[in-house]
Amino acid sequence: MIKAHISEIKSLLKTPKNVVIVPHKNPDGDAMGSTLGLCHYLIKYSHNAVVLAPNDYPEFLKWLPGDEKVLKFDSQVKESSDLIENADLIFTLDFNALHRAGEEYGASLKASKATKIMIDHHQQPDDYAKYVYSDVSMSSTCEMVFNFIEMLGDIEKIDATIATCLYVGIMTDTGSFRFPSTTSRTHQVIATLIDKGAENSEIHNNVYDTNSYGRLQLLGRAMQNLKVIPEIRTAYITLSQAELDEFNFKKGDTEGFVNYALSLKGIIFAGIFIESKAEEIIKISLRSKGEFSVNEFARAHFNGGGHTNAAGGRSHTNLEETIDKFISILPQYKEQLSQK
Which chain residues interact with ligand 5GP by CB under 6 A?
Answer: 24, 100, 122, 285, 304-307, 310-314
Complex with Mn ion: residue 30 or 275, whichever CB lies closer: 30
Q: Please give the DSSP secondary-structure letter assigned to residue 80.
A: H
> Strands 305-306 and 281-288, how do they pair?
unpaired
Q: Under the criterion CB under 5 A, does residue 173 sit at the interface with Mn ion?
A: yes
Shortest distance, position 29 Cβ to Mn ion, whole Å: 8
**Nearer of residues 24 and 233 to ligand 5GP, judged by Cβ:** 24
Give 29-55 as a 3 state SS string.
HHHHHHHHHHHHHHHCCCCEEEEEECC
Of residues 9 and 36, the one with the C-beta less far from ligand 5GP: 36
Residue 87, classified by CB atoms within 10 Å of its CB into exposed (0-12), middle (13-18) or buried (19+), is: buried
Reference 91, options 54, 124, 53, 119; nearest CA is: 119
The alpha carbon of residue 54 and the mean position of all alpha carbons in its chain are separated, in whole angstroms, by: 13
- For residue 101, the partner it binds in Mn ion, ligand 5GP, none, with Cβ less than 5 to 8 A by kind, is none
For ligand 5GP, which is the closer residue by CB, 42 or 142? 142
Q: Of all helices (H) and strands (E), which one includes residue 276?
A: strand 269-276
Q: Which option in Mn ion, ligand 5GP, none does residue 47 bind, with CB closer than 5 to 8 A by kind?
A: none
CB within 8 A of 137, min separation 6: which ones? Answer: 121, 181
| Binding at 72: pick from Mn ion, ligand 5GP, none (beta carbon under 5-8 Å per type) | none
* Residue nearer to ligand 5GP on the CB measure, 132 or 311: 311
Query: Whole-number minimum distance, CB 139 to Mn ion, in Å?
Result: 8
Is 120 a binder of Mn ion (CB under 5 A)? no
What amino acid occupies position 228? V
Taking CB positions, which residue lies at the least distance from ligand 5GP?
312
- Asked if residue 298 lies in contact with residue 312, where contact means CB atoms within 8 angstroms, the answer is yes
For CA atoms 163, 166, 169, 173, give the dihedral sign: negative
Residue nearest to Mn ion (CB): 30
**Shortest spacing between CB 123 and ligand 5GP, in angstroms:** 9
| In contact, 307 and 301? CB cutoff 8 Å | no
Q: Which does 120 bind (CB under 5 to 8 A by kind): ligand 5GP, Mn ion, none?
A: none
Task: Supply the minimum distance, in Å, between the C-beta of residue 80 and ligand 5GP.
Answer: 21
**Candidate residues 30, 143, 253, 275; the one interacting with Mn ion per rule CB under 5 A:** 30
Amino acid identity of residue 273, one-letter, is F
Strands (E), 87-127: 89-93, 115-120
Which position among 24, 90, 93, 94 is part of the footprint of Mn ion (CB under 5 A)? Answer: 94
φ, ψ (nearest 5 deg) of residue 227: -120, 145
Residues near Mn ion, by CB under 5 A: 30, 94, 141, 173
